[in-house]
Amino acid sequence: MSAGPSVSGLHAVVLLAQGRTDGVALLRSEPSDVTRSFFAMAVAVPPIIALRFLNWEIGTGVPADAARIVTLDLLVYAVSWLSFVIISSRLADRLGREALWPRFLVTYNWCNVLANVMVLVGTVPGALGAPPLLDQVSQVVVTGWALWLEWYAVRLTLRTGPLLAMYFVLVDQMIGVVFTIAGASLGR
């Protein structure tokens, strides 16, 4: 896989993260573009692994079964991501926005990469020993920004109102919570 799709996908979502609507125009929605956008899952793996290790560094240290835990994290991540892909497709169909869904999916896939990087960056102050208030504010700001980015992407690509976009984001977050809890119970 060439770096082309990842560079253009990341460039587009960085523009979106700045509130620029022209980011969506950079993302094509042909079937081959949709397929290539799943490369974003691989691009998002390093920040996810780094976040896990950073959290261990802040907390109790790296456990002896770190490889098993990271593998489980990555499985939860993939199943959660793909579950939302399926559910969002069905939601878009029911809302009469099936023609808009491919561009949404390309945008969603690349937004996930930036969101994972943002959450990782928001954890850095705590890892560096920042006061708890600064650490918490940092995490709240980047998490809020990541949620806003997804909401904004839904609004632009599926041409929805604010409440319907919020519904898509809530569905995505609930899927993540359910699979994270399931993964945690398997990891014991």
pLDDT tens track for 56-99 = 887 788 888 889 989 999 999 999 999 999 999 999 999 999 99
Mean pLDDT of 113-142: 92
**Per-residue confidence band for 1, with pLDDT thresholds at 50, 70 and 90:** very low
Instruction: Convert 28-63 to b/e letters by CB count within 10 Å (16 or more is b).
Output: bbeeebbebbbbbbebbbebbeebbebeeeeeeeee
Report pLDDT for 4: 62
Of 187 and 45, the one with more pLDDT: 45
Is 115 in contact with 149 (CB distance < 8 Å)?
yes
Candidates 88, 79, 133; CA nearest to 108 is 88
Report pLDDT for 2: 46
Distance CA 129, CA 137 (A): 14
Retrieve residue 135's tokens.
């650490």
Report pLDDT for 65: 87
Q: How far apart are the first and last CA of the chain?
A: 36
3-state secondary structure of 28: coil
| Mean of pLDDT over the chain | 91
Query: 19: alpha, beta or left, given left = phi > 0 and alpha = psi -120 to 50?
Result: left
Q: Give the total number of structural domains in the chain.
A: 1
Instruction: Give per-residue pLDDT as tens, 4-17.
Output: 666 788 899 999 99
Report pLDDT for 155: 97
What DSSP designation does 14 have? Answer: H
* Domain that includes residue 39, residue range: 4-186
Report pLDDT for 169: 97
pLDDT tops 70 at residue 188: no
Report pLDDT for 187: 67
